[in-house]
Amino acid sequence: MGLKWIDSRELAIELSEQHPDVNPTTIRFTDLREWILELEAFDDDPNHCSERVLEAVQMCWIEEAD
């Protein structure tokens, strides 16, 4: 079963593994959205993304990085 937009923590973990040199506090939401869409495990409607969803993923990524 693929990852959905609501899977913030799992998306953040995948992103941190795919982009280990990225500081999640400096990422632009446009890049974050593209990177999520590029994840092999991601399987959700690209149009269901909102700024709130991206903020949640970013916050989880920051927590994972700490």
Q: Which CATH number covers residue 35?
A: 1.10.10.600
Domain count, the chain: 1
Residue 40 lies in a domain: yes
Can you give the pLDDT at residue 66?
Answer: 85
Of 4, 9, 7, 5, residue with least CA distance to 59: 9
Can you give the pLDDT at residue 5?
Answer: 97
Angle at 60 (CA atoms; ends 57, 66), nearest 5 degrees: 140
Per-residue pLDDT in tens (0 to 9) along the chain, 66 residues: 799 999 999 999 999 999 999 999 999 999 999 999 999 999 999 999 999 999 999 999 999 988
The pTM assigned to this predicted structure is 0.94
- Taking a C-beta distance cutoff of 8 angstroms, is the pair 54, 29 a contact? yes
Residue 57 lies in a domain: yes
Q: Residue 22's domain spans which residues?
A: 8-65
Residue 47 lies in a domain: yes
Residue 62: phi and psi, rounded to 5, are -60, -45
Can you give the pLDDT at residue 29?
Answer: 97
Q: What is the CB neighbour count within 10 angstroms for residue 46?
A: 11
